[in-house]
Structure 1
Amino acid sequence: MSVETSKKATGRNSNVIVAAVCLAFFTGMIGMAYAAVPLYKMFCQATGYGGTTQRAEKQYAGRVLDREITVRFDANIAGVPWEFQPVQRSMTMKIGETVQAHYKATNKFDRPVTGRATFNVQPELAGPYFNKVECFCFTDTTLKPGETLDMPVLFYVDPDIVNVPELKDVKTITLSYTMFPIEKTKPVASSEPAQGNSKTISNTEANLGG
């Protein structure tokens, strides 16, 4: 093999190595992008970052302070044709006391619509100390045309909040929900449905308002 041929072969091998490294890096970046959303959600739920509240496995049965705090309730819609609002705008309870609040949603559209709520609290530092025992957040909810649904939230404020220097004088926490639409894919019937399946397809479409 001549020196020139050897140099060409070495150059091709180098190009192949560089291309492989670039491809591996690009694939890794895509994988990290897909993993970022659930990892970020887990991080927020564990730390309360960004005003993310904590999820309590059971109703709190610890100490209740002889100190009151007010929780304000906020509701927003982002593209879902619903009327969505808290039943009461605020509630005052003792720190450590478990209480229940209610939101109400009404579908104003002429067909069934599915929505899902996200939430946060303000001030953001209060997130780790605002514990929800029961909540409708991150749950797909479908309402028929004109249907109204009561959506309860069971929660308490952790007494440890008074030990945080930045929060020791906080007297009000705002719990805010935003409702987003969730599109449901409607099954498409074949132009020549198989025998025995036409009834199933028809019933499915009827259930989805098709």
Structure 2
Amino acid sequence: MTDSKNLRTAMLAGLVAVMMIGLGFAAVPLYNLFCRVTGFNGTTQRYDPAAAAEEPQVLSDTISVRFDANVSPKLPWKFYPERPRDTVSIGARDMAIFIAENNSPHPITGTATFNVTPDQAGKYFTKIQCFCFTEQVLQPGERIRMPVLFFVDPKIKDDVDARDIQEITLSYTFYPVDEGKKAS
């Protein structure tokens, strides 16, 4: 009797261990999906014209969008928005330009991460085209202009937690792709 009880306990413990390993592998994709769906932690939406039933309605309401640019201390780049702020009609497509310049004597590859604040605005800030998460290779002294096409979804006006937001900040931070190599 004790042997069968021990075997059952061991099998249950093994099953729990396998389930925990599986959950560990699934956690990152599930978290990313959760953030994309809810806008949690300032995660923006990506516009998919094939999935969109129709173009968003353009409202007469406007919202201010502030553009913030940062660079890791390990990346000898200058990075900034062409215009630090824009007032956009809710639902209308708009474009912001960010400029990056390699101030080092050798080519460097960087990639940008982003976030949107306030966090409640993330699920309504929809990027159509963006340079984020794409490796950017800049030659010594090279300067490039990188566009971001976006709109603020009119559904923001239906959300009691977000409808009174007057300003959204889109912030990017560039990092060197290979942290193991010295960037300067």
Name the residue aligned to 2:39.
48
Structure 2: segments with no counterpart, 5+ residues: none
Which structure dedicates a bigger proportion of its chain to strand? Answer: 2
Secondary structure at the aligned position of 1:177 is classed as strand
1:1-210 equivalent positions in 2, closer than 5 A: 10=3, 14=6, 18=10, 25-26=16-17, 28-58=19-49, 61-78=55-72, 79-183=74-178
Name the residue aligned to 1:191.
none
Q: CA 1:147–1:28 in 2, change beyond 3 Å: closer, same or farther?
A: farther
Superposed structure 1 runs of 4+ greater than 4 Å apart: 20-28
Which range moves more in the overlay, 41-50 or 31-40?
A: 31-40
Shift of 1:38: 2.7
Counterparts of 2:145 and 2:14, CA distance in 1: 51
The RMSD of aligned alpha carbons is 2.9
Per the normalisation by structure 2, the TM-score is 0.82
Per the normalisation by structure 1, the TM-score is 0.72
Q: CA 1:69–1:33 in 2, change beyond 3 Å: closer, same or farther?
A: same
Greater relative CO (CA pairs within 8 A, separation 6+): 2
Counterparts of 1:74 and 1:172, CA distance in 2: 13
Contact 1:114 1:184 in 2 (8 A): no
Counterparts of 1:83 and 1:50, CA distance in 2: 27
Counterparts of 2:45 and 2:106, CA distance in 1: 35
Which structure dedicates a bigger proportion of its chain to helix? Answer: 1
Deviations 1:124-161 (A, max 9, x none): 11111111111111111111222111110001111111
Counterparts of 2:76 and 2:109, CA distance in 1: 10
Contact 2:56 2:153 in 1 (8 A): no
Counterparts of 2:179 and 2:117, CA distance in 1: 32
Count of residues paired in the alignment: 177
Q: Percent of aligned positions with the same letter in both sequences?
A: 45
Q: Which amino acid aligns with 2:162?
A: L
Q: Which amino acid aligns with 1:167?
A: A
Deviations 1:83-127 (A, max 9, x none): 111111000111111110011111222322211111111111111
Shift of 1:185: 9.3
Counterparts of 1:110 and 1:30, CA distance in 2: 46
Counterparts of 1:25 and 1:180, CA distance in 2: 39
Secondary structure at the aligned position of 1:35 is classed as helix
Which of these two proteins has the greater Rg computed from alpha carbons? 1
Contact 2:99 2:143 in 1 (8 A): yes
Q: CA 1:108–1:98 in 2, change beyond 3 Å: closer, same or farther?
A: same
Contact 2:82 2:99 in 1 (8 A): yes
